[in-house]
């Protein structure tokens, strides 16, 4: 086995955003805490060699596994990332449009409430803040929208970035041929379901 098998798996992040920014698609693992994102970059991702960064996607129904790992110049603090996520339009857009290259950046995700935003900010229900009642109960007043509370979020992309050129979409039947993916599913899926 390669040294891959000794690198801990990390899934303590919210999800992954796919954004077009700086002329290239960006893959953005999302954290809710700015400090945690700083540690993660400083201790782990900073030491990755761009040419060895791998991201893998394995689809299972309407979900997919996001898997990311790399060789590190500081193996003692290296981590590999994974998360099982819901497929989304942005994910599909990334799948079609990445062209074999992407930037890796971390993002900090902040939830916004009605009092934090401009009138034109969009709620998750797709209507603007001005369409929401400003009383205690900020229900959406737009036609027959059933949104009960204004919620929106903001993603701040951190400046530092790495370039990823090893991007592969796999089917589950093929994961055995890909050491990073195989290790991930083995540790985080197969060995767990056997124990149940």
User: Which residues sit at the interface with Zn ion, rule CB under 5 A?
Assistant: 123, 125, 127, 140, 142, 145, 147
CB of residue 146 to Zn ion, shortest distance in Å: 8
Query: Is residue 138 classed exposed, middle or buried when 0-12, 13-18 and 19+ CB atoms within 10 A define those classes?
Result: buried
Q: Which long-range contacts (CB under 8 A, 24 or more apart) does 114-121 make?
A: 114/138, 114/150, 117/150, 117/152, 121/152
Taking the least distance from each CB to Zn ion, the nearer of 68 and 129 is 129
Taking the least distance from each CB to Zn ion, the nearer of 147 and 164 is 147
CB of residue 123 to Zn ion, shortest distance in Å: 3
Taking the least distance from each CB to Zn ion, the nearer of 133 and 174 is 133
Taking the least distance from each CB to Zn ion, the nearer of 147 and 170 is 147
Taking the least distance from each CB to Zn ion, the nearer of 9 and 142 is 142
CB of residue 127 to Zn ion, shortest distance in Å: 3
> Per-residue b/e over 3-37, b at no fewer than 16 CB within 10 Å?
eeeebeebeebbebbbbeeeebbbbbbbbeeeeeb
User: What SS3 string covers 71-121?
Assistant: CECCHHHCCEEEEEEECCHHHHHHHHHCCCCEEECCEEEEEECHHHCCCCC
CB of residue 124 to Zn ion, shortest distance in Å: 6
CB of residue 19 to Zn ion, shortest distance in Å: 23
Q: Do 64 and 84 form a contact (C-beta atoms < 8 A)?
A: yes
């Amino acid at each position: 086995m390669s040294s891959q098998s000794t690198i801990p798996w990390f899934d303590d992040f919210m999800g992954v955003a796919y954004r077009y920014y700086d002329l290239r698609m960006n893959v953005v693992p999302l954290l809710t805490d700015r400090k945690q994102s700083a540690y993660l970059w400083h201790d782990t991702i900073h030491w990755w060699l761009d040419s060895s960064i791998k991201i893998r996607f394995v689809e299972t129904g309407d979900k997919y596994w996001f898997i990311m790992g790399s060789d590190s110049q500081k193996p003692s603090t290296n981590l590999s990332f994974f998360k099982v996520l819901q497929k989304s339009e942005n994910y599909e857009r990334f799948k079609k449009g990445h062209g074999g290259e992407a930037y890796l950046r971390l993002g900090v995700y902040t939830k916004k409430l009605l009092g934090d935003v401009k009138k034109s900010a969009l709620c998750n229900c797709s209507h603007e803040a001005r369409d929401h009642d400003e009383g205690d109960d900020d229900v959406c007043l737009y036609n027959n929208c059933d949104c009960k509370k204004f919620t929106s979020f903001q993603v701040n992309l951190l400046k530092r970035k790495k370039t990823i050129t090893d991007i592969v979409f796999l089917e589950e039947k093929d994961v055995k041929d890909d050491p990073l993916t195989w290790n991930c599913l083995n540790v985080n899926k197969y060995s767990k379901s056997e124990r149940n």
